[in-house]
Amino acid sequence: MAEPRWIEINCDMGEGFGRWKMGPDEELMRYVDVANVACGFHAGDPSTMVRTVRLAKQHGVRVGAHPGMPDLLGFGRRRMNIAPDDMYASVLYQVGALAGILAAEGVPLNHVKPHGELYFYVQRDADIRNAVLCAVKAFNVPIYGLPTKHMVEDCQRLGLKLIPEFYADLNYDDEAQLMSVAESVPAIPQLVAGRISMFVKSGQVYSKSGKRVDIPVDRQGFSICIHSDLPGALDNAAAARKVVDEKKNEE
């Protein structure tokens, strides 16, 4: 398979709350192409959202909404049962809040990317997936996510563009399924760089158990996710940027 046509780096940002900061957003902006801004449910608040949007604008970083579960205490990473109608309204509400801030700042909404448990909830529950996709469709922007069979089919059905993601700071299991933050080993720059290089070259990564697995993401174009809240996020982002730029220069 040919080398990628495009590779970008996206990062979850604006995930502090009130006086509490989460992640080195200011420094990270130098290394990323896209910022996923928390919308207040799993993290973030109105002032943090405004500051993050302005920071992204200053650095020429595209901005998307990062809606999550209504779970500040658990950072949106705990399982909750939510009715599809309520989920639809929740995503509309969160994305709408960021869209209003973006409009005030003269910045377009680039995409929507579900956060944490919602990201996985979309994959395992057809009704929740439909609710979230329908809410995203209302804003006429792409959704970032895992290009699983059901996700691809439902996005096509709704006429919604799916931006496939590759995770460099999380593990995949032996079935090439993405593992959660809690299940993954802590990422370090060498690991992040090695995963990206291996995936670009072969379409594979080493699973958590050490097995080579095929990752179902089209290497012709994909987005690499880096988590701002994980230890070493800045060094991991810098390592990812270095590899991505090297791969682009090889083309």
List, for residues 146-179, the tens digit of each pLDDT value: 999 999 999 999 999 999 999 999 999 999 999 9
Q: How far apart are CA 234 and CA 243, in angstroms?
A: 14
24 within a domain of the structure (yes/no): yes
Q: What is the pLDDT of residue 249?
A: 72
What CATH number is attached to the domain comprising 201? 3.20.20.370
Domain count, the chain: 1
Question: Would 101 be classed as within a structural domain?
Answer: yes
- Pick from 144, 143, 220, 140: nearest CA to 178: 144
Residue 221, CA distances (Å) to 34, 43, 224, 237, 240 in order: 15, 29, 10, 19, 16
167 in any annotated domain: yes
Strands 212-214 and 221-227: unpaired
**Cα 92 to Cα 62, 97, 159, 237, distances in angstroms:** 20, 8, 18, 30
What does the DSSP assignment read for 82-119? --HHHHHHHHHHHHHHHHHHHHHHT--EEEE---HHHH
Q: Which of 33-37, 49-53, 122-126, 247-251 has the lowest mean pLDDT?
A: 247-251
Whether 246 is in a domain gets the answer yes
Q: What's the pTM?
A: 0.93
**241 vs 222: CA distance, rounded Å:** 14
Is the pLDDT confidence value at 5 over 80?
A: no
Query: Looking at the domain assignment, is residue 1 inside a domain?
Result: no
Going by pLDDT thresholds of 50, 70 and 90, the confidence category of residue 105 is very high
Question: Whole-angstrom Cα distance, residue 17 to residue 174?
Answer: 36
- Determine, yes or no, domain membership for 188: yes
Per-residue pLDDT of 174-193, as tens digits, reads: 999 999 888 999 999 999 99
> Which pLDDT belongs to residue 147?
94
Q: Is residue 100 part of a domain?
A: yes
Can you tell me the distance from the alpha carbon of 123 to that of 64, in angstroms, rounded to the nearest whole number? 20
Residues 159/137, Cβ–Cβ less than 8 Å: yes
- Domain that residue 203 falls in: 6-250
* CA–CA gap between residue 26 and residue 251 (Å, rounded): 30
Examine residue 137 and state whether it is found in any structural domain, yes or no.
yes
- The pLDDT value recorded for residue 220 is 83
